[in-house]
Amino acid sequence: MRDDRSFIELKARERARLLLDDGSYRELLDPFEGIVSPWLGPQGIVPQSDDGMVVAKGTLNGGPAVVIAIEGSFQGGSMGEVSGAKMAAALELAAEDNRNGIPTQAVLCLETGGVRLQEANLGLAAIADIHAAIVDLRRYTPVVGVIAGTVGCFGGMSIAAALCSYLIVTREARLGLNGPQVIEQEAGIDEYDSRDRPFIWSMTGGEVRYQSGLVDALVGDGVNAVKQAVNDAIARGVPAKHRTDNYAWYLERLTNFDTSKQADAEQIKQLFGENRS
Q: pLDDT tens, 183-236?
A: 888 888 888 888 989 989 998 999 999 999 999 999 999 999 999 999 999 999
One-character DSSP codes across 84-137? HHHHHHHHHHHHHHHHTT---EEEEE--B-SB-GGGHHHHHHHHHHHHHHHHHH
* Residue 244 burial (C-beta neighbours within 10 Å; 0-12, 13-18, 19+): middle
Evaluate if residue 98 carries a pLDDT over 70. Answer: yes
CA distance 152 to 172: 8
CA distance 119 to 79: 8
Give the residue among 204, 231, 89 at the shortest CA–CA distance from 146. Answer: 231
Other C-beta atoms lying within 10 Å of the C-beta of residue 255? 7
pLDDT digits (tens, 9 = 90+) for 34-70: 999 999 999 999 999 999 999 999 999 999 999 999 9
pLDDT at 130: 98
H/E segment holding residue 229: helix 223-236
If pLDDT is split at 50, 70 and 90, which confidence band does 266 have? confident
Hey, is 167 helix, strand or coil?
A: strand
Pairing of strands 63-70, 53-60: antiparallel
Report the chain's mean pLDDT, rounded to a whole number.
93
> CA 241 from chain center: how many Å?
20
